């Protein structure tokens, strides 16, 4: 565990400003993407968005997992995919069930500890391209699930390296913290989006939900939502069982793949006490902690009109130590190492 070199923009030193700026102040990044629908063993599906470019088969591939109610429209998603392309790699953004703009087919959704779909995606990619190196990035909820999966599988997974950002290591503590002060704004926003997904399923008449539409309106906190919906839909006893079972912190000692965790002490979704101590990290894990940065923020730069997004520098820099350009890529003889050519913006 080490201090992060990140220094926040002087005009964004508040944790809420850091968290909200990428959503409210960043221009939408245009990307040329190809969508694939991946069929799941239980009959459901996941939608995957692939970057397009000159990188051919065998070129390193970076898989991106989003946070709660995230999608390809999340600013961090488009930002990191652009950087992945600049590094000469391929990127694929994974939408969890129901997050791609179309409701999933099963009653269940996804949750913070849902590693089954994650494993299926990575295994499917490796079956198609056994010679390609694969790395993964997880943000927030996606980071929690990624670290949990890495701990569950140890060295029995196909990843060359992984990065997790703004991870809610202790779900119970996060559910308590996000219900206090201004952070309740984030809770309301997320609960409203979650409820909209549940409401759509109720109104479709083709799903069996554990609540009625009237009961859904009464759910205002994560504790209430997870007790009434997440737990019964995903076979947990209750919200507490879900939180205890799925929190990533307990899985950290068993991680065996090179992994980087990036976190800010002022994350408004959680308090610093959720962070693991050094002895809880495996020898394969590096954790960098900054004083500021908010939740998936980490914005720097001299002025608002020239804001820079530090995660898009640091993540490729780390992965570049483990990913090589494809042997059959003619550009590999002309391009510098990834750590030198992957520039943020």
- pLDDT of 95 higher than 80: yes
Q: Does residue 267 carry a catalytic annotation? A: yes
For residues 157 and 122, the answer to whether their CB atoms sit within 8 Å is yes
Q: Does residue 263 carry a catalytic annotation? A: no
How far apart, in whole angstroms, are the C-alpha atoms of residue 110 and residue 115? 9
Task: State which fold the 2-169+248-341 domain adopts.
Answer: Rossmann fold (3.40.50)
pLDDT of residue 180: 95
Residues 140, 183, 247, 259: which is the catalytic one? 140
Residues 47, 170, 226, 267: which is the catalytic one? 267
Residue 322 backbone dihedrals phi, psi, to 5 degrees:
-120, -15
CA 257 to chain centre: 17
Report the predicted TM-score, pTM, of the whole model to 2 decimal places. Answer: 0.93
Confidence of residue 340 (pLDDT cuts 50, 70, 90): low
Q: Does residue 313 carry a catalytic annotation? A: no
Residue 9: strand, helix, or coil: coil
Residues 16, 295, 300, 329: which is the catalytic one? 295
For residues 121 and 50, the answer to whether their CB atoms sit within 8 Å is no
- pLDDT of 64 higher than 50: yes
How far apart, in whole angstroms, are the C-alpha atoms of residue 315 and residue 138? 11
- pLDDT of 46 higher than 80: yes
Any idea where the domains of the chain sit in the sequence?
A: 2-169+248-341, 171-246
pLDDT of residue 315: 98
């Amino acid at each position: 565990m080490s201090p992060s070199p990140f220094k926040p923009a002087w005009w964004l030193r508040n944790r809420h400003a850091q968290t909200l700026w990428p959503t409210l102040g960043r221009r939408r990044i245009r990307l040329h993407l190809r969508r694939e629908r991946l069929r799941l063993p239980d009959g459901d599906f996941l939608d995957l968005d692939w970057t397009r470019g000159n990188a051919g088969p065998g070129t390193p591939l970076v898989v991106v997992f989003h946070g709660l109610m995230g999608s390809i429209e999340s600013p961090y998603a488009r930002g990191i995919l652009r950087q992945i392309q600049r590094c000469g790699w391929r990127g694929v953004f994974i939408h969890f069930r129901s997050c791609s703009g179309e409701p999933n087919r099963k009653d269940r959704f996804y949750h913070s500890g849902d590693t089954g779909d994650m494993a299926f995606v990575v295994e499917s990619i490796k079956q198609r391209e056994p010679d390609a190196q694969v790395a993964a990035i997880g943000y927030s909820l996606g980071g929690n699930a990624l670290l949990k999966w890495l701990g569950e599988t140890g060295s029995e997974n196909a990843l060359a390296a992984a990065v997790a950002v703004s991870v809610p290591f202790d779900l119970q503590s996060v559910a308590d913290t996000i219900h206090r002060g201004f952070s309740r704004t984030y809770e309301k926003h997320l609960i409203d989006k979650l409820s909209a997904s549940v409401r759509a399923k109720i109104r479709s008449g083709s799903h069996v939900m554990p609540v009625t539409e009237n009961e859904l309106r009464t759910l205002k906190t994560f504790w209430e939502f997870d007790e009434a919906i997440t737990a019964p839909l995903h076979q947990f006893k209750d919200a507490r069982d879900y939180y205890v079972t799925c929190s990533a912190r307990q899985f950290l000692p068993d991680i065996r793949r090179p992994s980087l965790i990036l976190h800010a002490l002022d994350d408004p979704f959680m308090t610093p006490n959720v962070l693991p101590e050094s002895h809880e990290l495996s020898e394969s894990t590096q954790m960098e902690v900054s004083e500021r940065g908010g939740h998936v923020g980490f914005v720097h730069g001299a002025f608002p009109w020239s804001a820079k997004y530090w995660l898009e520098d640091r993540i490729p820099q780390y992965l570049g130590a483990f990913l090589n350009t494809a042997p059959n890529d003619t550009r590999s003889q002309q391009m510098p190492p990834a750590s030198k050519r992957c520039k943020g913006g």
